[in-house]
Chain A
Amino acid sequence: MTQLALVIDLNVCVGCQACVTSCKEWNTSGAAGTMSDERPYDADPSGTFFNRVQTFEVGEFPDTETVHFPKSCLHCEDPPCVPVCPTGASYKRPEDGIVLVDYDKCIGCKYCSWACPYGARELDEKQKVMKKCTLCVDRIYDAALPERDRRPACVMACPTSARLFGDIHDPSSAVSIAIRESGGYPLMPEWGTHPANHYLPRRKTRLRIHDDELERADNPLKIDSQLPKPAQSEPSLDDVTSW
């Protein structure tokens, strides 16, 4: 069985909001109708979004880290929002695990949003139906698009490649490898919803440089010595500064 999902690397997300705007642009232009905004240019704007990037400060000044945290529907493997829906408008696709809302069936009762612990669903104030991330279901299967574009709009937009997309049930997919090897974790595991989307934790990224990395110890063809040898203090990327 396939379970499509996003894996979001908190170590590289810079909080630029590119995924937020790209998501809104793609999904507001789609066949399902606009994601409406209320008073967009006033002092108290409000609008429907599938994806939000939030910012948290971890630690105590001066030892703090800023963590940018993108949040959208996690396409839970055991989605509590689906069984509560009285109309069947909310459903989980068996073929790829995407949780969707049928906007033609939804009566806007908001019950599903109460049953989602993550606040991933938003009622559209104009259409009065429940909306949420679709994993860009209208583009990832679009055979008219080149293969490399058949990915969610947020993934395409991310300048730091913080967002990976794929099948987490396929052990050899990039997302499964990332979850397995980079400590991927789900949100609020205490509720047993088994979110398909995972997050990769922050990592310490320190670069250790040894002498032999500045000056090649093996120097097999003795080429290095023929060049003007830079002083130890000079920048030493050998292909760039050495001649």
Chain B
Amino acid sequence: MRPAFSVVLLTTLIGLGQGLFLALFTAQSYALFDLLPRQDLHTFYAYGSLLALAFLAAGLAASFFHLGRPERAWRSAAQWRSSWLSREVIVLPLFMAVVLVYGIAHWAGGGPALIVLPSGIGIDVTVLAGVLGTLLGFLLFVCTGMIYACLRFLPEWHSPLTVINYILLGGASGFTLASLFASVAAPGLSGFFGGWAIIITLLGATGRAASLLRNSRLAPRSVLQTAIGIKHPKIAQKSQGFTGESFNTREFFHGRSAALFSSVKWFFLAAAFVLPVALLAAALASTAAAHLLAAAFLVQYCGLLAERWFFFAQASHPQNLYYQTAS
């Protein structure tokens, strides 16, 4: 497939926003159960939500560039019963709304406890919004992943690993960003986020390696023989029916050399996983951590852009069997 830059941006940016929100609420939950020291961090959470919202909005904006008719985008919420794309279109704004509520509630200082658990822990609006946001955040990852994983014709995508990797890679970048943000705004939490960022990045590396391994062993289900229904072992296309190009030759071939294709793979393996883990580990050990964390975040985001490009480029569509020779 030809990777569309708008979709590469959309999926990486909202993954970042989702991951950041999940990181924020993870820290809040830890503090709620006294697993982290309780501090007054309402402003940190409020600004953090704003940051998450900014990434989500940027992703949403990028998605419009993918549409031929963006002015009709509202129609795409119609088929949520059958289309994962439609479900994503609904869940993304819902999630953004909840992140906004979460941020505003923190900005307002959290408010009174609405429910008090038997253990004496007070549940206020921020916790409720946080729980709802966490559910929606995961749901959004599932929707985004399933858009690709549900297409059975693209065997490279048609696997639970696709969804798992969307969750892990979004989470990894979000926790890295949270660690960077905390190093400026709430230094006490930077190490907590950094530690989780390393763990999730390593999990992401495992998941992505597993999908690379799986994809390297796939055999195409359709061949020219089934495509045109002629059983002869030797068939060659002599003409695809036109001499120039068409939607079919543009949309479904990435058109880059095999050398570039495989260098993108090695680049993203280094930039999305190896380097960020090294930089995060160095940051945890050092005192001037902000620069290292900024480097980790930027390198990892570039790595994830490359990862997403590769994800699209690697999928080979059965329609390509019909478009082999121009003549």
Q: In this assembly, does A118 line the interface, its C-beta being within 8 Å of a C-beta of chain B?
A: yes
Given contacts A55-B239, A201-B229, contact A45 B244 (CB under 8 A): yes
The answer to whether the Cβ of B318 comes within 8 Å of any Cβ in the partner chain is yes
Contact of B85 with A57 in the complex, beta carbons under 8 Å? no
B234-257 contacts to A, CB under 8 A, are: 234-248, 251-252
Q: A59-B232, A107-B70, A119-B322 are in contact. Are A187 and B227 (CB under 8 A)?
A: yes
Residue in A46, A53, A187 whose beta carbon sits within 8 Å of that of B226 in the complex: A187
Q: Say whether A56 contacts B248, CB under 8 Å.
A: no
Q: Could you say which residues of chain B place their CB within 8 Å of the CB of A107?
A: 67-70, 72-73, 75-76
* B57-109 interface (Cβ within 8 A of A): 66-70, 72-73, 75-79, 82-86, 89
Given contacts A55-B239, A84-B84, contact A118 B322 (CB under 8 A): yes
Interchain CB contact under 8 A, A118 and B319: yes
Chain B residues with Cβ below 8 Å from A165 are none
Please report which residues of chain A, range 167-223, place their CB below 8 angstroms from some CB of chain B when the two chains form the complex: 185-191, 199, 201-202
Contacts of B82 in A (CB 8 A): 82-84
Q: Which chain B positions have C-beta within 8 A of A230?
A: none
Question: Are the CB atoms of B79 and A87 closer together than 8 Å?
Answer: yes
Rounded to whole Å, the gap between the CB of A60 and the closest CB of chain B is 5
CA distance A100 to B248 in the complex (A): 19
Contacting residues, chain A, for B1 (C-beta < 8 A): 114
Determine whether the beta carbon of B152 is less than 8 Å from that of A123.
no
Q: Which residues of B contact A122 (CB under 8 A)?
A: 246-248
> How far, in angstroms, from A106 to B67 measured CA to CA in the complex?
10
List of A residues within 8 angstroms of B152 by Cβ: 80, 191
8 Å CB contacts to B: which residues of A64-87?
A: 66-67, 69, 71, 80, 82-87
**B317 on interface, CB distance cutoff 8 Å:** yes
With A107-B76, A117-B318, A122-B246 given, is the CB distance from A185 to B70 under 8 Å? Answer: no
Q: Give residues of chain A (1-43) contacting chain B, Cβ–Cβ below 8 Å.
A: 17, 20, 39
* 21 A-B pairs with C-beta separation under 8 A: A47-B242, A52-B241, A54-B322, A55-B237, A55-B238, A56-B235, A56-B237, A57-B237, A58-B234, A59-B234, A80-B152, A84-B83, A86-B75, A107-B72, A109-B68, A114-B1, A117-B153, A127-B68, A186-B229, A187-B228, A191-B222
Q: How many residues of A contact B (CB 8 A)?
A: 62
Write out, one digit per residue, whether chain B residues 196-227 have a CB within 8 A of any chain A CB (1) or not (0). Answer: 00000000000000000000000001101011
A235 at the interface (CB under 8 A from B): no
Contact with B along A77-99 (1 / 0, CB 8 A): 00010111111110000000000
Using known A-B contacts A57-B236, A128-B69, A201-B229, determine if residue A190 contacts B221 with beta carbons closer than 8 Å. Answer: yes
- Which A residues touch B244, using CB under 8 A? 39, 44-46
Cα(A202)–Cα(B159), bound, Å:
38
Instruction: Name 5 extra pairs, CB < 8 A, besides A58-B234, A69-B228, A191-B318.
Output: A47-B242, A56-B235, A87-B78, A119-B252, A187-B226
**A128–B246 touching, CB < 8 Å:** no
Report which residue of A47, A107, A125 has the largest number of chain B beta carbons within 10 angstroms of its beta carbon. A107
Q: Which residues of A contact B73 (CB under 8 A)?
A: 107
Report if B50 contacts A (CB, 8 A): no
A69: nearest chain-B partner, CB-CB? B228
Residues of A within 8 A of B (CB): 17, 20, 39, 44-49, 52-60, 66-67, 69, 71, 80, 82-89, 105-111, 113-119, 121-123, 125, 127-129, 185-191, 199, 201-202
Contact of B151 among A106, A115, A118 (CB under 8 A): A115
Q: Which A residues are in CB contact (< 8 Å) with B226?
A: 187-190
Partner of A53, one of B72, B241, B247: B241
- Residues of B within 8 Å of A88, CB to CB, are 75, 78-79
A129 to B67, CA, bound (A): 9
What's the nearest-Cβ distance from chain B to residue A35, in Å?
11
Query: How far does the alpha carbon of A113 sit from the alpha carbon of B247 in the complex, in Å?
Result: 10
Specify which of B226, B240, B244 lies most central, judged by the most chain A CB atoms within 10 Å of its CB.
Answer: B244
Docked pose: A53 CA to B239 CA in angstroms: 8
A54 touches B76 (CB 8 A): no
CB of A14 to closest CB in B, whole Å: 14
- Closest-by-CB residue of B relative to A114 is B151
Task: Assess the A46–B245 pair: CB atoms within 8 A.
Answer: yes
The answer to whether B222 touches A86 (Cβ under 8 A) is: no
Q: Complex formed: what's the CA distance from A39 to B67 in Å?
A: 23
A39: chain B residues at CB < 8 Å are 244
Residue B131 interfacial (CB < 8 Å): no
- Whether B245 contacts A44 by the Cβ 8 Å rule is yes
Beta-carbon contact of A67 and B230 below 8 Å: yes
Please indicate the chain B residues that have their CB under 8 angstroms from the CB of A110 in the complex: 66, 68, 251
From B86, B229, B236, B246, A49 is in contact (CB under 8 Å) with: B246
Interface assignment of B150: CB less than 8 Å from any CB of chain A: yes
User: Given A57-B236, A58-B232, A86-B86, are A108 and B153 neighbors across the interface (CB < 8 Å)?
Assistant: no
